[in-house]
Amino acid sequence: MSTSSLGTDGGRSWAALCGVVLLASASLSLASETASISGSVIDSKTKAPVAQASVILVCTCLPTGRAAQTDNDGVYRFSDLAAGTYTVQVLDQNADAEKIVVLPSSVKMRVDFRINPNGD
């Protein structure tokens, strides 16, 4: 097939296809650079998962902090994170625990907590 057989509309279609491919490549590249922090919150005495605990994530790399709650299995997750130094804080009843972690680009980091919700 010669270039002349594409015609005017074929040339525009080819350019549009190239543009879509470039945008998809850029999106995949950005997606691969994002990271995540997830983990579980366990009662240190009973070894049971702590459901509905508040988990707060703070980093100077974020415009604002993020918050989540653990599910019934005591699991939380923050995704689409940039590389940076994060403070992960868990609050539940009388428990207040935090960890500071350095999250590299493209890493799925696990940060688990053992807390005593009753504080005794």
Helix (H), strand (E), coil (C) string for 15-29: HHHHHHHHHHHHHHH
- pLDDT of the residue at 4: 46
Residue 120 lies in a domain: no
pLDDT at 8: 53
Average pLDDT per block of 10 residues along the chain, 120 residues long: 49 46 40 84 97 97 96 98 97 96 97 91
Question: Do 28 and 70 have their domain in common?
Answer: no
Residue 63 sits at the vertex; the CA angle it makes with 36 and 29, to the nearest 5 degrees, is 45
CATH number at residue 104: 2.60.40.1120
Please indicate, yes or no, whether residues 55 and 6 belong to a single structural domain of this protein: no
pTM reported for the whole predicted model: 0.72
Check residue 10 and give its pLDDT: 54
Residue 25 lies in a domain: yes
Domains in the chain: how many in total? 2
